[in-house]
Amino acid sequence: MATSNKLMTMFMSLIFLIHIPYFASSDLRTGFYSNTCPKAESIVRNVMKKALIREPRSVASIMRFQFHDCFVNGCDASMLLDDTPTMLGEKLALSNINSLRSFEVIDEVKEALEKACPGIVSCADIIIMASRDAVALTGGPFWKVRLGRLDSLIANQEDSNNIMPSPRANASALINLFQKYNLSVKDLVALSGSHSIGKARCFSIMFRLYNQSGTGKPDPAIDPDYRRELNKLCPLDVDQNVTGNLDATPVVFDNQYFKDLVGGRGFLNSDQTLFTFPETKEFVKLYSMNQSEFFKAFAEGMLKMGDLKSDKLGEVRRNCRVVNHRHSHLLLETLNREGSYM
Ligand code: HEM
Ligand SMILES: *[C@@H]1O[C@H](CO)[C@@H](O)[C@H](O)[C@H]1NC(C)=O
Ligand SMILES: *[C@@H]1O[C@H](CO)[C@@H](O)[C@H](O)[C@H]1NC(C)=O
Ligand SMILES: *[C@@H]1O[C@H](CO)[C@@H](O)[C@H](O)[C@H]1NC(C)=O
Ligand SMILES: *[C@@H]1O[C@H](CO)[C@@H](O)[C@H](O)[C@H]1NC(C)=O
Ligand SMILES: *[C@@H]1O[C@H](CO)[C@@H](O)[C@H](O)[C@H]1NC(C)=O
């Protein structure tokens, strides 16, 4: 018995040392870490609270990660990987460069989790928990998240470039894109309500202020008073990194975003278009009048989007920015030395 215990211990420490990638079990579930890291959700929540106090916008910036992660090869934290000499990451993809921000908050969450339960909680799950918390902490709905994702071993900048929608997109293009992920028109409109918090750059709206669809004119759907405000914020010669609020209450998660769309005060073309197309307009109206309907649909949409799976091998990264070091040479050496026990 003593020998077999010793072998078991050796075997477990080998797995720990070598970081063998594996497939995630197919079912995500609530309470996934209740035995292995019972404080996981409260640790994430506390770091998010601190981030919110330090800089209110940061929680919006993090909530956006769920969209940019899950749409590109499933929710696998691929977008958190830094570039390496042999791999172009997703951070510099078209929709992400000079735009995604607050990666340091995820680092802070990860550090706290590694201290409490090393090697247990994936970065992909951190994005899901942190996004939920961003919404709940700013006045939006709370929902129970399903966990158990693994982190990818690679990122794919080209896929991100090809998939992520432009702020110029119209509702019919957005409907088609979301349909590819089995997300309905209702999901699309509700999830766009994420723009109830956060900011965007002048860069993302210059065309609609000055040259919508190459007409040399502004988007006619913009309310004239609001357009004057936007022209002031983003004159033709502006530093296009200047930012404006995505709705009138950018640090409160509420249905103001939809009220703004009804009033022609949507910031992005991809926002205002939801009120100009009949398929999406009804949902905009509904959510503008009934915040509970919006909250319910938003939580459902986030859960569906969070279920988008990667079909590749994964691991639990130690540092969300880099894949774990492989020690396959160590595995081979150990197996050679201990080969007789297997
Ligand atoms: C429907 C298609 C969508 C389009 C075309 C779109 C596009 C954009 C753009 C262009 C920005 C501003 C980027 C910049 O100027 O730097 C932005 C910001 C943001 N997006 Fe979206 N988005 C979409 C859907 C979503 C979804 C589904 C979520 C999350 C569930 C989301 C969350 C956010 C948040 C929170 C911000 C503000 C981030 C910050 O303040 O740093 N978006 N989005
Ligand atoms: C919507 O955008 C797509 C893709 O850019 C374009 O082909 C289509 O003509 C647009 N639809 C309308 C009704 O403007
Ligand atoms: C969407 O649903 C269909 C039918 O249930 C399924 O075959 C497909 O894999 C789903 N697609 C995604 C991206 O989940
Ligand atoms: C507007 O866009 C069109 C088509 O992209 C372009 O040919 C034209 O030069 C632009 N006009 C201005 C004023 O930038
Ligand atoms: C925004 O700032 C970044 C550096 O922070 C710079 O590289 C980029 O060119 C700027 N973008 C615009 C549109 O001015
Ligand atoms: C708003 O939506 C909620 C949730 O679906 C529903 O219970 C409620 O009756 C609606 N309120 C109004 C005023 O329609």
Q: How confident is the model at residue 20 (pLDDT cuts 50, 70, 90)?
A: confident
pLDDT of residue 22: 87
Question: Region 278-297: what's the mean pLDDT?
Answer: 98
Q: How confident is the model at residue 244 (pLDDT cuts 50, 70, 90)?
A: very high
Is 8 inside a domain boundary? Answer: no
Is 285 inside a domain boundary? Answer: yes
Question: Region 140-166: what's the mean pLDDT?
Answer: 98
pLDDT tens string 183-195:
999 999 999 999 9
What percent of the chain lies above the pLDDT cut of 90? Answer: 87
122 and 205 co-located in one domain: no
pLDDT tens string 95-152:
999 999 999 999 999 999 999 999 999 999 999 999 999 999 999 999 999 999 999 9
Which of the two residues, 91 and 329, has the higher pLDDT score? 91
Pick from 206, 207, 236, 241 the residue to mutate for probing ligand 5's pocket: most ligand atoms within 8 Å of its CB: 241
**This prediction's pTM:** 0.93
Exactly one of 68, 325, 327, 329 is catalytic; name it: 68
Is 335 inside a domain boundary? Answer: no
Residue 76 structural domain: 14-163+312-329
Contact 332, 42 (CB under 8 A): no
Q: With a 6 A CB cut-off, is 221 part of the ligand 2 pocket? A: no
Is 341 inside a domain boundary? Answer: no
Q: Is the pLDDT of residue 61 over 50?
A: yes
Q: Which residues line the pocket of ligand 3, CB cutoff 6 A?
A: 181-182
Return left, alpha or beta for 202; rule: phi > 0 is left, psi -120 to 50 is alpha, else beta. alpha
Q: Is the pLDDT of residue 18 over 70?
A: no
215 and 126 co-located in one domain: no
Q: How confident is the model at residue 1 (pLDDT cuts 50, 70, 90)?
A: very low
The candidate with the shortest Cα–Cα distance to 272, out of 215, 310, 311, 230, is: 230
Is 7 inside a domain boundary? Answer: no
pLDDT of residue 326: 78
CA distance 198 to 23: 35
Is 2 inside a domain boundary? Answer: no
Q: Is the pLDDT of residue 199 over 60?
A: yes
Helix, strand, or coil (residue 322): strand
Is 290 inside a domain boundary? Answer: yes
